Structure 1
Amino acid sequence: MTADLPPGKTSFAGLHHRPGEPLILPNAWDHASAATLAARGFPAIATSSLAVAAAAGLPDGESATREHTLRLALTLGSEPYHLSVDAEDGFSDDPAEVAVLARELWAVGAVGVNLEDGLGPSGRLAAKITAVKAAVPGMFVNARTDTYWSGDGDEKDTLRRLDTYQQAGADGVFVPGLTDPARIADLVRRLRVPLNILHSPAGPTVPRLAALGVARISLGSLLYRRALGAALDVMTDLAAGRAPGGTTPSYDEVRALARSVSASRSANSTG
């Protein structure tokens, strides 16, 4: 955790350039989840496309949640942490439309965006990256390839795609599904930009990923899925006559989160 690095002191991009100390980036799905994570000292919070989609009863990865994603960014963007938004493929194949989305996200306070290729043509995502960087130069663009997530993990294709995204202007690259330490280390050596890896409970630990040179470790939908699992565990325990375990914030603690966001919005509107 990096509680000694508040957003006002270290830029979001800067958090990706600390050798041996990767940015651990938790993914939230609403104000309460983001606020509780920020209160623990995490200087940057990302959104989770699966969580946003699931909460709205919509499919993930099918460009169905553009407006939901923007509304969440509007809620979180004025808070005192760096916000990165998972925007699937940009919700459009048109680079100009993706650039418009980036401007809208930047306007509400997001400083980073994650764009994925979905194993489509690498040139398509490259054009979106270039368009976003031209429209919002300060936006940190994290380019994701799905070669390991939904493909066969072809190393040559992965390298080719990542090189294309680097040349297009990506500030970082993301390879979810990659867990092999040797392949991670090889990518770190070959890349000119920070490497983002999705944490896997069955994969390398955070200290191991740090030692391999990984610059950013994302949690993806893990926290949201664990929250759903915790709800099921509580009900199972109660139904069986057992006292549920785990961490449970009090009613007043959760209610205080709503007061904090109201105060923040009031201050922004008068400032």
Structure 2
Amino acid sequence: MNQQAEQARRLHQLHQQDHPLLLVNVWDAGSAQIIQETGATAIATGSWSVATAHGYADGEQLPFELVLANVQRICQRVDVPVTIDIEGGYGQTAAQVKRHVAQIMQQGAVGINLEDQLPQGNGLYSIQQQQARIRAAREAADEAAIPLFINARTDIFLQAAVETHDLAHIEAALQRAHAYAEAGAHGIFVPGLVDEQLIQLVCQQSQVAVNVMISAASPSIPALTACGVARISYGPQPYIQLMDTLKQSSLRVLAGQSF
């Protein structure tokens, strides 16, 4: 337990604006080991990749017992801090979130992503509802004596077309960032936000670490670092890239060509 608490503290320390934490998201123990071997200082899962690798759709369709088994295997095979994308916490109530976060920590994880998107993606939890869910996660961590890093994800930017992102969206995201920090979150995750100036505004006004997910339209890593981003992740992209390579290799083999 002491080692796990130390790993949690290390995960907190890795979030730095002048030297952001870079996370090539994994989906199982094997991919986690490969990423650690490249020199990664932390391991992060991506829910889409984990679900798809198990033959399920994203959106908490993967049975939670498989989520736990996957977390356990990952944590047993790597030595660096592990943070887990648990989507919406696999439950709408604070009590459900608390129970599931406790179970995730029992497998060895020291960080989580917790999103504010309602099940099936139909809107967002109210700020008050999501605060209660974050507080529940914080309570689970406090009771386990583990300084769990809670990365609070807001889906504001995923639920609006990129070309419509404006200051109103930023204000709404910052309102949630401040509220989530008050409830016990240590980071605000803004997937879908790609405008460099808007990202900079979020970084300047957020009181917690800002996490940006890389996409084809995202600024470069040096640009994001200059904006003040403290955590940069890749979501499903590593899995998609690897599976595309596998598909192309199979197509060549089935066409009678070399692997």
Write the mapping of 1:63-74 to structure 2, written as runs, cut at 5 A: 64-74=62-72
Match of 2:250 in 1: 235
1:192 is matched with which residue: 202, 207, 215? 207
Match of 1:81 in 2: 80
Write the mapping of 1:1-271 to structure 2, written as runs, cut at 5 A: 11-16=10-15, 18-62=16-60, 64-78=62-76, 79-118=78-117, 119-137=124-142, 138-152=147-161, 153=165, 154-240=169-255, 242-244=257-259
TM (normalized to structure 2)?
A: 0.85
Paired residue total: 237
* Structure 1 Cα separation of the partners of residues 47 and 158 of structure 2: 15
With over 3 angstroms needed to count, the CA separation of the structure-2 counterparts of 1:133 and 1:9, relative to structure 1, is closer
- Mark the runs of 5 or more structure 1 residues left unpaired by the alignment: 1-6, 245-271
Letter in 1 for 2:127: S
**Structure number, greater radius of gyration:** 1
Question: Does the CA contact (< 8 Å) of 1:174 and 1:196 recur in 2?
Answer: yes
* Structure 1 Cα separation of the partners of residues 150 and 8 of structure 2: 21
- Mark the runs of 5 or more structure 2 residues left unpaired by the alignment: 1-5, 118-123
Taking only the aligned residue pairs, the percentage that are identical comes to 34
Q: Where do 4+ consecutive residues of structure 1 move more than 4 Å?
A: 7-10, 239-244
TM (normalized to structure 1)?
A: 0.82
The worse-fitting range, judged by mean Cα deviation, of 124-133 and 170-179 is 124-133
Once the two structures are superposed, residues 121-146 of structure 1 have per-residue CA deviations (whole angstroms, 9 ceiling, x without a partner) of 22222111111112213110000000
- More relative contact order, 1 or 2 (CA 8 Å, 6+ apart): 2
Q: Secondary structure of 2:156's match?
A: coil
With over 3 angstroms needed to count, the CA separation of the structure-2 counterparts of 1:162 and 1:10, relative to structure 1, is closer
